[in-house]
């Protein structure tokens, strides 16, 4: 017995991933999206610069995102063309900090640490010792440890913490070190550093996020028989309780944000809705800056690390001119951002100008995704995928080993389709269908 029809609510990366997997299983798919464009929290905006779209945030992938990369290939996107691959590079504008060579792991990590510019031998030996210890621990630790606890337990130096651990924690978990789960952080480190050739490489989009995957995926789905309804927001009553509880030939999959999924199923499963609503959310701000300084000739590489503190909150700045032809446009990213849009913009403008030595920068656009990710804290209870017998959820916030990332979203979509298919098969056998 095969499931006949699935209704997917949400065309973010999790929902699109699930829709592709369902089509591959031979299911009939109807996909709803409240917004006019697909992509969810990783999408292109209507605003443009140099006749090219801006994004709702400057996203990057890493080489360890194998399911995401394979999904892109499935729908006709060539990652080799759409993503610029560079070995992990966390150097600042003065070339200080960690840069890994394009060598096999773990030699790339050992060499990168040994050659890190601006680090003392004490900095390096403490980090090497910590890496050896984490490997002996199988990249696991006490469930209640924060990343700050992990760093203090390893006796890492302040320089290593500020130039490596803190920016990696913020970029991967979008949660401050003193609050972020060390166990999840170590899992990310394991997959990036020991996940096979190129796993730690940075994959930086050469095009806007719409072109990177969502638009191609929607076209692929439609070409394979899926019904895609953009700009349609479902109401809670649209999910028929009787049908949702009893029809093994039809399933609902909520691939929307946690708070939206909670709204849709509060009448069906209030406990699940309460747990989803209990997740704390963290913001990410992206400040687009136009470098009007006549001496500016680009960053020299696609991404440069920034020194961040309370009054200089950005962790990285990207050269959009080098990446996708938006000449003299910089994108500065503030993970776990706080404060007003205006304050963030002015702080980042001053920070980038000072640290890059630029005399003139204009703010083009400041994008604040207020609920960009869940706060990835120790011991966090995340909702399960199954809500009722026929209502499910997928997304990067559900139970799993990864933080809120594109890879987590893609894997969630794929895994829940497999789960739904297994349940439908068992129920069909039980009922003699």
190 and 93 fall within a common domain: yes
- 8-state DSSP, 388: S
Question: What tokens appear for 203 in the block?
Answer: 């994959």
126 and 180 fall within a common domain: yes
94 and 176 fall within a common domain: yes
Identify whether 423 is part of a domain.
yes
387 and 276 fall within a common domain: yes
Which CATH number belongs to the domain containing residue 226 in this structure? 3.50.50.60
Neighbours of 233 (CB within 10 A): 12
d(CA 385, CA 325): 41
Q: Which residues contact 176 (CB under 8 A, 6 or more apart)?
A: 169, 170, 336
- 8-state DSSP, 197: T
Contact present, 225 and 23 (Cβ < 8 Å): yes
231 and 242 fall within a common domain: yes
316 and 326 fall within a common domain: yes
Instruction: Quickly tell me which residue has 């003299």 as its tokens.
Output: 328
424 and 307 fall within a common domain: no
- Show the domain range for 422: 5-39+213-280+379-431
Identify whether 45 is part of a domain.
no
273 and 287 fall within a common domain: no
Identify whether 57 is part of a domain.
no
Among 159, 194, 229, the domain-final residue is 194
Which CATH number belongs to the domain containing residue 349 in this structure? 3.90.660.20
What does each of the 433 residues of the chain score in pLDDT, given as a tens digit?
456 899 999 999 999 999 999 999 999 999 999 999 999 999 999 999 999 999 999 999 999 999 999 999 999 999 999 999 999 999 999 999 999 999 999 999 999 999 999 999 999 999 999 999 999 999 999 999 999 999 999 999 999 999 999 999 999 999 999 999 999 999 999 999 888 899 999 999 999 999 999 999 999 999 999 999 999 999 888 886 555 455 567 899 999 999 999 999 999 999 999 999 999 999 999 999 999 999 999 999 999 999 999 999 999 999 999 999 999 999 999 999 999 999 999 999 999 999 999 999 999 999 999 999 999 999 999 999 999 988 999 999 999 989 999 999 999 999 999 999 888 777 664 434 4
Contact present, 412 and 385 (Cβ < 8 Å): yes
Identify whether 418 is part of a domain.
yes
188 and 315 fall within a common domain: no
Identify whether 27 is part of a domain.
yes
368 and 305 fall within a common domain: yes
231 and 316 fall within a common domain: no
Identify whether 82 is part of a domain.
no
Identify whether 73 is part of a domain.
no
Among 134, 161, 194, the domain-final residue is 194
101 and 181 fall within a common domain: yes
d(CA 368, CA 370): 6
> What total of structural domains would you count in the chain?
3
């Amino acid at each position: 017995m095969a499931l006949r029809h699935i209704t997917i609510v949400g065309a973010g990366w999790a929902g699109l991933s699930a829709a592709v997997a369902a089509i591959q299983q031979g299911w009939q798919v109807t996909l709803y999206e409240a917004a006019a464009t697909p992509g969810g929290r990783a999408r292109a905006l209507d605003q443009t610069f140099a006749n090219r779209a801006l994004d709702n945030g400057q996203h990057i992938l890493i080489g360890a995102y194998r399911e995401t990369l394979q999904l892109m290939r499935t729908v006709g996107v060539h990652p080799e063309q759409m993503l610029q691959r560079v070995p992990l590079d966390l150097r600042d504008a003065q070339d200080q900090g960690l840069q890994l060579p394009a060598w096999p792991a773990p030699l790339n990590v050992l060499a990168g640490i040994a050659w890190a510019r601006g680090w003392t031998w004490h900095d390096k030996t403490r980090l090497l010792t910590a890496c050896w210890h984490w490997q002996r621990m199988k990249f696991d630790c006490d469930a209640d440890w924060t990343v700050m606890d992990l760093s203090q337990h390893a006796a890492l130096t302040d320089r290593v913490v500020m130039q490596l651990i803190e920016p990696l924690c913020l970029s991967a978990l979008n949660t401050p070190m003193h609050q972020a789960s060390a166990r999840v952080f170590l899992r990310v480190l394991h997959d990036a550093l020991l996940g096979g050739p190129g796993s730690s490489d940075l994959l930086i989009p050469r095009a806007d996020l719409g072109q990177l995957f969502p638009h191609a995926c929607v076209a692929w789905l439609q070409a394979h028989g899926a019904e895609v309804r953009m700009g349609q927001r479902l109401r809670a009553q649209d999910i028929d309780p009787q049908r949702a509880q009893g029809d093994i030939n039809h399933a609902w999959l909520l691939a929307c944000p946690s708070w939206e999924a909670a709204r849709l199923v509060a009448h069906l499963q209030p406990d699940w809705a309460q747990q989803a609503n209990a997740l704390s959310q963290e913001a990410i701000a992206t400040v687009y800056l136009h470098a009007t300084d006549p001496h500016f000739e680009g960053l020299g590489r696609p991404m440069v690390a920034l020194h961040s503190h309370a009054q200089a909150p950005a962790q990285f700045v990207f050269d959009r001119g080098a990446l996708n032809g938006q000449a003299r446009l910089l994108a500065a990213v503030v993970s776990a951002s706080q404060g007003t849009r205006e304050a963030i913009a002015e702080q980042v403008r001053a920070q980038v100008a000072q640290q890059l030595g630029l005399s003139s920068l204009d703010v083009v656009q400041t994008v604040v995704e207020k609920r960009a990710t869940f706060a990835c804290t120790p011991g966090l209870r995340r909702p399960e995928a199954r809500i009722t017998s026929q209502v499910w959820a997928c997304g990067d916030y559900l139970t799993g080993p990864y933080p809120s990332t594109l890879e987590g979203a893609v894997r969630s979509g794929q895994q829940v389709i497999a789960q739904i298919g297994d349940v439908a098969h068992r129920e069909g056998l039980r009922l003699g269908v």
